Amino acid sequence: MNLNKAMIIGNLTRDPEVRSTPQGTSVASFTVATNLVWKDQSGQKQEKVEYHDVVAWRKLADIVGQYLKKGSKVYIEGRLQTRDWTGQDGVKKYRTEIIAENMIMLDRPSNQGQGTRSAPAQNNEPDLPTIEQEDTSTKQNSESESDSDEIKLEDIPF
């Protein structure tokens, strides 16, 4: 059995770049920054930032381009994929990316009191079978109606 799963929560470092393939398929690329905070042996607070390149395909790419912007907080779920190419200097280059399969916007809409919104992806990349995912938007909307039961990211101990 094999497993290739990536899950991150972070903020976009720039506005998503949405393009179309020659066949008309939408593809969005963006970078998400995540922070790791810890105390060293002397008790000093340390912080390390990681930058994750993310690629979304088809309808998810359109949603990303429409709703996300620099600074947006998102949950991204997908798989890792490394691609390689030869640069103009003749050197082989590599890039590992998260191919997004699901995305949840964690910022509250500015004019609405609703909670997170989910954008499940289907058939994310050319020549891949459709990924069936549970619709979580109804569950999330009912959860957000009761603010006292809402779990905030700040309350999670890890």
CATH number for the domain harbouring residue 77: 2.40.50.140
Torsional sign, CA 56, 59, 61, 67: negative
Q: Number of structural domains, the chain?
A: 1
102, part of any domain? yes
Are 57 and 25 in contact by the 8 Å Cβ rule? The answer is yes
Range with top average pLDDT, 37-41, 50-54, 124-128: 50-54
pLDDT at 109: 67
Which positions ≥6 away from 43 have C-beta within 8 Å? Answer: none
Task: Return the SS3 of 7.
Answer: strand
1, part of any domain? no
55, part of any domain? yes
- Which CA distances in Å does 130 have to 17, 18, 44, 85, 144? 24, 21, 48, 28, 29
92, part of any domain? yes
Of residues 17 and 128, more confidence is placed in: 17
Of residues 9 and 125, more confidence is placed in: 9
Query: Is it the case that residue 123 has pLDDT exceeding 60?
Result: no
Query: Is it the case that residue 30 has pLDDT exceeding 80?
Result: yes
The CA-to-CA distance between both ends of the chain, in Å, stands at 28
Q: What residues make up the domain containing 97?
A: 6-38+46-155
Which positions ≥6 away from 70 have C-beta within 8 Å? Answer: 12, 13, 14, 15
Could you tell me the pTM of the whole model?
Answer: 0.67
Question: What amino acid is encoded at 63 in this protein?
Answer: I
Query: Is it the case that residue 103 has pLDDT exceeding 80?
Result: yes
pLDDT-derived band at 112 (thresholds 50, 70, 90) equals: very low
Torsional sign, CA 150, 152, 153, 155: negative
pLDDT at 154: 57
